[in-house]
Every structure is written in structure tokens, then in C-alpha cells.
Amino acid sequence: MKFFIDSANLEAIREVKAMGMCDGVTTNPSLMAKEGRTDTDALLKEICAIAQGPVSGEVTALDAAGMIEEGKRLAALDDHMVVKVPTTYEGLKAIAALSGEGIPVNATLVFSTNQCLLVAKAGAAYVSPFVGRLDDVGEDGMDLIADAVEIYQNYDLETEIIVASVRSPMHVADSALLGADIATIPPDVIKKLVAHPLTDKGLAGFMKDWEKLQGGTGS
């Protein structure tokens, strides 16, 4: 399973890339706003330079014509750019048009099985079901991932499934067990993935015994 980093923070992306855990990056208007930079195109280009993999930048127009125009501008920023389009009626038209021109599209804000089917039929390169936000409203977000995996297998659809709105290490493990193509993970969750209390406890024990040996107090 590929790991994308769900962040627009350059330092965080650099750190995860250096760890070998960054196959791409996803951003959205909220993540961009967190960085407080108004030169968003320049920021996306810097992210592409670090990631050296697919980088999703989201359109902000609400009508198909505006999304298509914005999507083409975003795609031209860098070869790694993927255009993120919200899964609305207008968005579907934009997904079909941009995909038809060979521009990779990430269909975002996906919350239902039918939306997964529609965006794949429209030619989206990626689909982003938001599992955390479904959990927030009392549904099981991972059920939607299971549905998407099954439907795409049933019909040999090539759209890659990006598990988005990931909030916890369990979302990542469950994504891998279900066979999702990608999980886009916030940097703080990446850190949690490696942590285990028994690793820390075991290491502390080893270090204590090692120090005893170095001090000559070992038997």
C-alpha cells in the first residue's frame, strides 16, 4: 500500500520523505490555509519537488467550467500534479472532461458507494473516500472502503482508492487489510504508526543492561 502525506507543511513532508514513507501528497483548501501562504501555486510546486510523486491540489470553483479551467492551470504547474475535484454533479462533469484530456483527477469528498462508482466511470485516476468523517457521523468509514475495493474488482475499474480523512493507526492497518491502494495520512498519525509501548519498554531494558555491562557491574 502506498502512503501519501495529507499535509501542505513542507517540513513535515520532507521529514516523512526522508523516512521513505512518502509516495505522494494530498492537500485541500483547509490544509493549504493552515500554512498561511497566499502563493499557493508556488507552495504546490515546492511540495512536488520534495514528494517526487503524485501531489493533489484542489480546485475551488463550484461550476464545471470553472473547475476545468482551474484544473488545467493546476495540472500545468508540475508533472506530478493531480487535480482534486469535489464529487458533486458539476464535479462529475469536470472529472470526465479533465480525465478525458489525460489529466489525473482525484475525486474528493466521497461518502457513498454510488459516488465511488460514478467517479470511476467518469475516469478519475483516484477516489478519496473520507473514512474519519463518516465515523464522526456514526457510520463505519471502512465499510465504504470495502465496498469500493469490491466494486472496482468486480468491473476491473482502474481508479486507485485513496483512504482519506485518516485519523488513527487502525484506519491505516484496516486499509491495508482491505487492499486499498493508498492511505493518505496526516504526519502525526505517521508518527503513531511506529510507536509501541513494548518497543519502548524493551529498549529501556536493553539499554539498562548495556550500561551495567559498560560499568563493569554485570556478572
Residues noted as catalytic: 84
With respect to ligand G3P, which residue has the nearer C-beta, 71 or 97? 71
Question: Does 6 contact ligand G3P by CB under 6 A?
Answer: yes
Question: Does 45 contact ligand G3P by CB under 6 A?
Answer: no
Distance of alpha carbon 60 from alpha carbon 55, whole angstroms: 16
Nearest to 145 by CA among 161, 123, 159: 161
Question: Does 56 contact ligand G3P by CB under 6 A?
Answer: no
Site string for ligand G3P, 179-208 (x = CB under 6 A): -----x------------------------
Give the contacts of 15 (CB within 8 A, at least 6 positions apart).
187
With respect to ligand G3P, which residue has the nearer C-beta, 137 or 195? 137
Distance of CA 204 to the CA centre of its chain: 34
Of the candidate spans 23-31, 71-79, 95-103, 174-182, the one that interacts with ligand G3P by CB under 6 A turns out to be 23-31
With respect to ligand G3P, which residue has the nearer C-beta, 130 or 152? 130
Q: Which amino acid is at 17?
A: K
Distance of alpha carbon 115 from alpha carbon 120, whole angstroms: 9
Nearest to 175 by CA among 109, 119, 114, 130: 130
Bridge partners of 24, per DSSP, are: 4
Minimum gap (Å) between residue 52 Cβ and ligand G3P? 20
Residues at the interface with ligand G3P (CB under 6 A): 6, 26, 28, 31, 130, 132-133, 164-165, 167, 184
